[in-house]
Amino acid sequence: MKNLEEYERELKTCSKCGLCQSVCPIYKETGIETVVSRGKFNMLLGLIKGDLKYSQNIDKYLSLCLNCKACDDFCPSSIKASEIITAAKNKYKKYCYTIKYDSFFKLKMLSLSFVFNLYRFSHFSFLVGKFEKYIIKVGFLGKLFILFDKISRITVKRKPTIKNKEKNLKVIYFEGCFTKYLNPSVKNALLNQLEKNNIEVILKNFECCGISALYSGKKDLFLKLKEKNTKLLNEECDYIVCDCATCLSAIKEYNESFSNKVIDIFELLSKTNSTQIQKEKITYHLPCHLRENKKEIKNEIEKTFSNYVEMKDFDSCCGFAGDFSINFPEISEKISDKKIQNIEKTDSNYILTSCPGCVIGLNKGLINKNLNKKVLNIIEYLEINS
């Protein structure tokens, strides 16, 4: 990623047509010009030229971005707005992550891992399921507790390793932070599925992919994590498999030498297995970081699931976007409400996706609307029904 000043030509290339307004989820909810690419570009040009000075207000407008890349896809001038906005955050954010913060992040994740494991060990989830309709009436804290309960449940358990089988492919598995620290269900499903398809798996102790640090304006930490992970990824293999769309998008940008090997687990299995699943009615939410492969994923889903029902705007953001849902809860909830309305119209039993962040966001939206539907990572659903 270049420095902000190096994007001056792209900023000037913007024709100010305003088409970004028609696809920006935040603009649709706020109507504020400076939340869309066109408005941000005017603001950033002012900063580069010295006509404007960085302020808390500008910081706020830079933060008002989901990084959903919808404007990238829709821009007639092919300007990568998400890259430019990220470069701006990395230039103007006043506070930077340090090595101490990096250690604190690990400590925080390990602490959360302990809490999640303790909760599962207590089997308290059984009671929550029985009294969910009463807990939800408590209000915000009740809804938060139900959300915690849902994302802590292990849907898939690890099956015994299948030995003495000739392997067709060799893959490196990049394990995301959510799977690594909070819930191993997706990892269990992924490893079970790869073994069923005679695919050799290389497991390594990866660091966080670093994308959240980069989006928060902490480029130094991102580069540090990238360097550590790149060393582990530079090994002979057929593919580098991800269970998280966000991790996938991050490591694709690490190094050109292996970027063409990085693949989502569902896409990999679609290449090696043509099984069709005929079960409950399902719909699919496309994570923002898989937008580039939207057509291919949609085709594979239609081939794999006979009872698939496409929701309206299946490729639009769920509104979660990590810190965004914490920093701008009202806007996040409005975006989420539209997604949930589209889900409800499909009358589907299951909502599948390929991102743990989206799993949290979709569950959060369903709880807010008191809808009893199951959200799963697509690899979990494949494992349960194959």
Helices 37-49, 81-92: inter-axial angle, 10-degree rounding: 40
Count of structural domains within the chain: 4
As a whole number of angstroms, the distance between CA 14 and CA 79 comes to 8
As a whole number of angstroms, the distance between CA 86 and CA 202 comes to 32
Strand partners, 352: 284, 376
The number of beta carbons lying within 10 Å of the beta carbon of residue 100 is 8
Mean pLDDT of the 98-108 span: 65
What does the block give as tokens for 37? 């690419």
- How confident is the model at residue 113, as a pLDDT? 94
258 and 279 together in one domain: no
297 and 231 together in one domain: no
285 and 379 together in one domain: yes
Q: Element (H or E) spanning 107, and its range?
A: helix 99-122
The pTM assigned to this predicted structure is 0.92
CB 35 within 8 A of CB 65: yes
- How confident is the model at residue 1, as a pLDDT? 72
Q: How confident is the model at residue 35 (pLDDT cuts 50, 70, 90)?
A: very high
- Contact partners, residue 20, CB within 8 Å, separation at least 6: 27, 36, 37, 38, 71, 74, 75, 81
- Measured in residues, the chain has a length of 386
Question: Which tens digits make up the pLDDT trace of 65-79?
Answer: 999 999 998 888 889
Picking from 235, 270, 305, the residue at the C-terminal end of a domain is: 270
261 DSSP assignment: T
Residue 372 lies in a domain: yes
Residue 161 lies in a domain: no
Picking from 251, 270, 289, the residue at the C-terminal end of a domain is: 270
The number of beta carbons lying within 10 Å of the beta carbon of residue 32 is 13
CB 265 within 8 A of CB 242: yes
Q: What CATH number should be reported for the domain holding residue 256?
A: 3.40.50
Q: Is 369 helix (H, G, I), strand (E, B) or coil?
A: coil
Residue 360 lies in a domain: yes
Q: How confident is the model at residue 37 (pLDDT cuts 50, 70, 90)?
A: very high
Residue 24 lies in a domain: yes
294 and 316 together in one domain: yes
Residue 300 lies in a domain: yes
175 and 254 together in one domain: yes
Query: What domain range includes position 119?
Result: 99-141
Question: Which tens digits make up the pLDDT trace of 225-263?
Answer: 999 999 999 889 999 999 999 999 999 989 878 889 999
